[in-house]
Amino acid sequence: MKKQVRYTSGAKNGIMYKLKTFAIAMLFAIATPVTSVHAEPPMQISTSPFGTTPDGQKVSRYTLTNSHGHSVSVMNFGATLLDVNVPDRAGELANVNWCFDELQPYLDGHPYFGSTVGRFCNRIGNAKFTIDGKEFPLTVNHGKHILHGGKANFAYQYWEGETYESDDRIGVRFRLTSLDGHEGFPGTLQTVCDYSWNDDNELTIQFSATTDAPTHVNLTNHSYWNLGGIGSGSAMDHVATIHAQELLDVDDDLIPTGKLNSVDGTVFDFRKPTALGDRVEQLPATKGYDHCYVVDGDFGQLRPAASVVDPDSGRMLEIETTQCGMQLYTANHLPGNEKSAGAGGHDAFCLETQHYPDAPNKPSFPTTLLSPGETLTETTVHRFGVAK
């Protein structure tokens, strides 16, 4: 937005002197705003090809660059977040989100790098739920359970994309129609994933959805962060604060039991800044964290969920969300090969804001049931900065 700048000139003795002064002032009044506008370039959106799906759909890469030259990129396939380029304490830019530089690895199967995950992220126990007395069996893809919405989940779908600009942000809005019966879920679901970026280095992700029949919906973004920059090594020295007094109790398959546990005095307590790797060896069964926290405050309201700082680079990530939960995953199973762009275990961390896993089978949990006439809306803000 152009700023209005006003100029004045004081009166001087002598008619000719007044006229000359007025003329000079007018020249500055005309010239100065032009200089000011060019000194701070506007936010920009660029689009480039990113490959073609096996069925011939052209995938586009959309790059959102703010006036500081900091940028994020997203693409149609999986409504996926690609690179996020933000500065360290010295002002040096680096990408802090693990991604691939071409489409093919996303087609072949990957660790959900930056993906929009649905129709139901995380786990549903025994891959089934019941609505109004009718049982709906779902795709089994994780032991005897369903993980992240099944085999052909939203991360492997082509989304229609459109760019937009407003006074204070630029963005891309992706749309997907998920047909009735997809992976076993009832109802045709219309889903929107909206990415926006602004001059405060805030990446906002908003999900919305409507349905023509009762169904369960739980959407998240599954980005893998390393604030030191991709390829900088382990992220376990990153210092995290998680705004949660409780987390979900789970069984050996990480299916919630329905109980909430206090974090007090446990390895899960990040209420005070703590390095992610300080106690990770105390979780040998999962090789690290893979647990859902109960975010403090009233869900449905945007509120702080977590903050993470990389001590070496000084980069900081703050997360706010309307969601009731957030899954901390310390990238325990990344293989360190081409399937993960070289990322190995603990080289990244995920903070996936979401509703609770297995909510369809846990009446005590906040509901994930969406009915016709209702609109699901959830917002998460990722704010990047430099720690003081």
Which residues are tagged catalytic?
222, 352
Residues 6+ apart with CB under 8 A from 244: 263, 270, 271, 293, 294, 295, 296, 305, 326
Helix ranges restricted to H, the chain:
15-39, 104-108
Kindly state the tokens that stand for 306: 């977590």
Number of alpha carbons in the 13 Å side-chain half-sphere of residue 360: 31
Indicate the residue type of 293. Answer: Y
DSSP 359-376: GGG-TTSPP-EE-TT--E
| 3-state percent breakdown (helix, strand, coil) of the chain, nearest 5 | 10, 40, 45
Report the alpha-carbon distance of residue 115 to residue 106 in Å, rounded: 9
Report the alpha-carbon distance of residue 192 to residue 189 in Å, rounded: 10
Residues 6+ apart with CB under 8 A from 6: none
